[in-house]
Amino acid sequence: MKYDYGQAVGYKTVSESGVVSIKIASVVSITPVETADQEETFGFPIGTVMYRVEFGDGSDILVPEQELDGI
């Protein structure tokens, strides 16, 4: 699924004890992996879309599209 700037998304986390939780975040940047250098930097293959999402507490994380869920 493709997401857009400002869109609310869910980011799934799993604790060490196996508890699954969904954290709500907003998309703040979108970066497609298009070159071998990017592939090496991000650790994901060419064609992957990376999203930087920001959480309510101001923290953020860069994740591949497949780790997000639409809300």
Using one digit for the tens of pLDDT, what is the confidence trace for 6-45?
Answer: 999 999 888 899 998 899 999 999 999 999 999 999 999 9
Farthest CA pair distance, the chain: 37
**pTM exceeding 0.75:** yes
Average pLDDT value for residue range 38-60 = 96
pLDDT range class, residue 63, cuts 50, 70, 90: very high
* Residue 51 per-residue DSSP state: E
Round to whole Å and give the CA distance between 55 and 39: 25
